[in-house]
A and B are shown apart, each in its own frame.
Chain A
Amino acid sequence: MKVSRLVAALASGLLFGIGLALSGMMDPQKVLGFLDLAGAWDPSLAFVLAGAVGVSALGYAIKGRLDRPAFAPRFAVPENRRPDGRLLSGAALFGIGWGLAGFCPGPALAGLVLGLPEVALFVAAMLTGMLLYRLLAERPARTVGAGL
């Protein structure tokens, strides 16, 4: 593992964490305010998504002109573009959990540094859910494709 690759990953994580903090999306009440169409709707998350997707689209446009990333031999971007039952059922379950607490993985992990027991509890349950998936997916009788 090259040091440049680790530094790039660290810098990317740092940008992500500062972005989350600045965006207000570490606050579950703000996220739920966006998802609550029948309440006092808070459009903030739409602006976060617009800014993030806009910049990321530029990055993927640049990627199309490159043979390989700067510090790795090849791009590890999923080739599969067809939605399937696994994808949709997983997304449906994730959405229910997201709506229950207002946490998705990034903000919950970044929120750990605030030292709130509720955040730690959510993250512990989330990691347990991921491990449960892995236990089920690793059973030899089933074949499940690699995630993102």
Chain B
Amino acid sequence: MTAFLAPLAGGVLIGASAVLLLLANGRIAGISGIVGGLLAPTARDWAWRVAFLAGLLAGPVLFHLLSGHWPQVRIGASWPMLVTAGLLVGFGTRLGSGCTSGHGVCGLGRLSPRSFAAVATFMATAIVTVFLVRHGVGR
């Protein structure tokens, strides 16, 4: 059971992050939305987005200082696969108005039917994709 304490505690911190941004600034803690807003040519509210992203990048550094080790990042995908995946994630999250944080953490938390539909859809296509890559024909 202890193997699930870190994921659960990490999840609680992510939830706390979303609550802080909501109750302090009235904003949704959706990463793709926060980044996407910076790419608008007329973005006027860029300062808080940059501040949030600076914190996001500082988070793993602080984790390292506190725990003495870096979080594990194991990448199995090839470079062409990473590029394809990145393009799909970037385009898809903007077209679909959110990702795992905006629709998952925030949208499910506020019981938005749009977010339930989005989460069900991206979970389904992700599961099918992983199945085809790992267990598909020719493997």
Contacts and interface: CB of A to CB of B under 8 A. Distances in A.
Contact of A28 (B31, B73, B79, B121): B73
Given A6-B51, A76-B26, A94-B122, A12 B21 contact: yes
A76 B125 CA distance: 29
A47 B92 CA distance: 25
Contact of A1 (B23, B48, B89, B124): B48
| A contact face: mostly helix, strand, loop, or mixed | helix
B33 to A, nearest CB: 4
Interface residues of B, number: 112
Contacts of A80: 114
Contacts of A52: 11-12, 14-15, 18, 104-105, 109
Interface string A39-65: 100011101111111111111101100
B27 A76 contact: yes
A88 B111 CA distance: 17
| B contact face: mostly helix, strand, loop, or mixed | helix
Given A12-B17, A60-B22, A22 B57 contact: no
Interface in A83-124: 83, 86-106, 108-114, 116, 118-119, 121-124
Contact of A26 (B29, B72, B83, B104): B72
A15 B17 contact: yes
A35 B86 contact: no
A83 B114 contact: yes
Contacts of B48: 1, 5-6, 9
Nearest to A44: B7
Nearest to B30: A148
B86 A97 contact: yes
Contacts of A28: 73-77
A131 B99 contact: no
A137 B20 CA distance: 31
Contacts of A8: 20-21, 24-25
Contact of A132 (B22, B59, B91): B91
25 contacts: A1-B47, A1-B48, A12-B52, A17-B60, A17-B62, A24-B7, A27-B72, A36-B130, A39-B134, A43-B4, A44-B3, A48-B8, A52-B104, A54-B109, A56-B18, A91-B96, A92-B92, A94-B125, A96-B92, A99-B127, A99-B128, A104-B101, A105-B31, A125-B82, A128-B90
